Amino acid sequence: MPHIQLLSPRLANQIAAGEVVERPASVVKELVENALDAGANRVDVDVEQGGVKLIRVRDDGCGINENDLPLALSRHATSKISSLDDLEAVASLGFRGEALASISSVSRLSLTSRTIEQEAASRVEVEGRDMDARISPAAHPVGTTVEVRDLFFNTPARRKFLRTEKTEFNHVEECVRRQALSRFDAGFTLRHNQRTVQSLRPAETPLDKERRIGSLCGQQFIDNAVVIDAEATGLRLWGWVALPTFSRSQADLQYFFVNGRVIRDRLVAHAVRQAYRDVLYNNRHPAFVLYLEVDPATVDVNVHPTKHEVRFRDGRLVHDFIFRTLHKALADVRPDDHLRGAVAQSFGREAATPGAVGTGQGAPESAGAWASPQSGQINHQAVPSGVVYGEQSGASAPQQEWRASDQMAFYQSLNSGGGVDHGQPQQPTPAPITTPELTPPVNGDEEPPLGYAIAQLHGIYILAQGKAGLIVVDMHAAHERITYERMKRALAEQDLKSQPLLVPLSLAVSQKEASLTESHADELQKLGLQIERIGPETLAVRQVPALLRGADSEQLVRDVLADLIEHGQSDRVEAVTHELLGTMACHGSVRANRQLTIPEMNSLLRDMEATERSGQCNHGRPTWTLVTLSELDKLFLRGR
């Protein structure tokens, strides 16, 4: 066995560089974070050959004193923390003090800086092969410039793993984009091979922030985003979340910041995915730029070498806060939120900003307005919405609304037999409802968001005239969402009932899962699950939710336990229950080739305007689309 020996500073720094410096983008991240911690209002990044040949980061921050320059390149030397108390409440982006030492061990690094108290600047240079710092006078304004040349010149094995110049620069550009999204108060410039790629001024006003978001994430994202701003229990979540219709095939437009630090966290990802659960199409991903502000003492940022991951002291509180905020924001989206920008564009006006959740702005219109055919004026009364658009034999007379009590009676009847019957529910006796004939109003500004129905196409689509243009509604998808939301409300009004199993289900689990079952017995009972531990690694399932009697109980319990281990909570029962309700809503909704009258079509439009998440059906498909007047004009070459 060789004798234990102390590693040389150069070798120790190169080992640390393996964790900190993965590629040129890693260097840019560390240097830009140092600049922001120094109070910079302007950060300029220049790279050549994707960052392999040169990385130069210049800032106008407070600078580094001449006597501290050699120490700045030493390992674990920093001015950001000095005691354990500082480490437990880190408020800066960097704090370990190993970034510059690690970078200088695998490159040729020079650092030039000047403080406001100094008359002249100083430069310190170091190369990876000798690690000897050389100090010399230099000309430089207040601030700091760091130049990193010939990255990995002394570690050819690491250099072979780098990708093409274009790929490496794409990573650098993404790094600068994240930093620019994290700090609106600072300006950023990015140049590649002497060509300016990004030039961003400081954004102080809400409009300037939206312009920066549009520049970095695309104007289409900001046009299809809802503003979030909510506070509770010492937490604040604000930012922008895209509408479900603006989903992505990849999770490439998801930015989440905790106290200004960009992170990737499974807890956050689960909360966001849960909020979008029944409004996204298959395998699609939401887009968002969100900022979470918490007490620094309640979050640990020192759990990963690159500081991309954090650990919350109360992860469940953070998860619930993120989920409930996003869930409410998506539920509050109404057709007028989708149409606001299109209407403004159609009339040549600047699009208004979507209302902020929790601020009272952008509140959805409560009741649909209908016009009296005698007077031609708008009568601001609720259009009768008690119409079921289900399939009927013979005439298309409307039926009474399927009330919550009737729904729950139907749910209970499902469990009286051997399984779940997805047939048509037994609805109350039809009674005629007189619905006023809805006609477009004289004043176009007063009409409801989805306008007024004018025709039905092939028994599938409703054609409506709105102030923005032609609105096409998939009547089955729209009514499916309306029915689904009514079912969820009806279920929420009553407790989730349990169904005892005639023969208890025995499950073989790990000791960890068995212990978890005992510690979460009350929570499992609320989910309708009665599980008893009958051995060190054996569970007995005695009751399951009545609605899920026909489901795979063993798999359901195992999934619930897996969620409890991973996230500390489980929404598996709710998800499966909602999946069942979605299937029932699909079978109970209006079908193709069902002829609706104009009053029925208008009543469906008014219900859509008042229903949560009415822009998508239960499967994530869009329920309606808009063809603006400008798009129609282009089709017919008008105005040319």
**Pairwise CA distance, residues 95 & 101, whole Å:** 13
206-234: pLDDT as tens digits: 999 999 999 999 999 998 899 999 999 89
Q: What is the pLDDT of residue 191?
A: 97
> What is the pLDDT averaged over residues 603-630?
89
Angular region, 593: left φ>0, alpha ψ -120 to 50, beta rest: left
Helix then strand then coil, % of the chain, to nearest 5: 35, 20, 40
Q: Please report which confidence band the pLDDT of residue 365 belongs to, taking 50, 70 and 90 as the band edges.
A: very low
Q: Please report which confidence band the pLDDT of residue 405 belongs to, taking 50, 70 and 90 as the band edges.
A: very low
> Locate tokens 């004939």: which residue?
437
Q: What is the pLDDT of residue 340?
A: 63
pLDDT at 616 over 50: yes
> What is the pLDDT averaged over residues 533-551?
86
Choice between 77 and 368, residue whose per-residue pLDDT is larger = 77
pLDDT at 564 over 60: yes
| DSSP structure class, residue 51 | G
Predicted TM-score of the model (pTM): 0.74
> What is the pLDDT averaged over residues 503-510?
92
H or E stretch covering 472: strand 469-474
Cα-to-chain-centroid distance, residue 468: 29
Contact by Cβ (8 Å): 97, 138 = no
Q: What is the pLDDT of residue 305?
A: 67
Q: What is the pLDDT of residue 399?
A: 37
CA angle at 246 for the pair 244 and 247, rounded to the nearest 5°: 75
Instruction: Name residue 59's amino acid.
Output: D
pLDDT at 533 over 90: yes
* Main-chain phi, psi angles of 306, to 5 degrees: -95, 0
Q: Domains along the chain? A: 9-200 (3.30.565.10), 206-335 (3.30.230.10), 365-640 (3.30.1540.20)
411-467: pLDDT as tens digits: 444 344 333 343 344 443 333 333 444 455 545 457 888 999 999 998 899 999 988
147-192: pLDDT as tens digits: 999 999 988 888 888 999 999 999 999 999 999 999 999 999 999 9
Q: What is the pLDDT of residue 584?
A: 72
Lowest mean pLDDT among 25-39, 481-495, 504-518, 572-586: 572-586
- % of the chain exceeding 90 in pLDDT: 42
pLDDT at 381 over 70: no
Q: What is the pLDDT of residue 229?
A: 95
pLDDT at 628 over 60: yes
> What is the pLDDT averaged over residues 32-45?
95
> What is the pLDDT averaged over residues 403-415?
45
SS3 call for 541: strand
Q: What is the pLDDT of residue 369?
A: 33
What are the strands, taking DSSP E only, across 156-269? 187-192, 195-200, 225-232, 235-242, 254-258, 261-262
* Main-chain phi, psi angles of 72, to 5 degrees: -65, -25
- % of the chain exceeding 70 in pLDDT: 81
> How far lies 612's CA from each of 222, 279, 468, 609, 616, in Å?
21, 11, 22, 8, 10
pLDDT at 31 over 50: yes
Contact by Cβ (8 Å): 425, 583 = no
Beta bridge partner(s), residue 526? none
pLDDT at 341 over 70: no
Q: What is the pLDDT of residue 521?
A: 87
Radius of gyration in angstroms for the set of CA atoms belonging to the chain, rounded to a whole number: 30
Q: Please report which confidence band the pLDDT of residue 130 belongs to, taking 50, 70 and 90 as the band edges.
A: low
pLDDT at 60 over 70: yes
> How far lies 395's CA from each of 353, 383, 399, 476, 538, in Å?
45, 22, 11, 19, 59
Contact by Cβ (8 Å): 633, 639 = yes
Instruction: Name residue 292's amino acid.
Output: L
The H-assigned helical ranges of 205-245 are 206-217, 219-223
**Tokens coding 310:** 């954090």
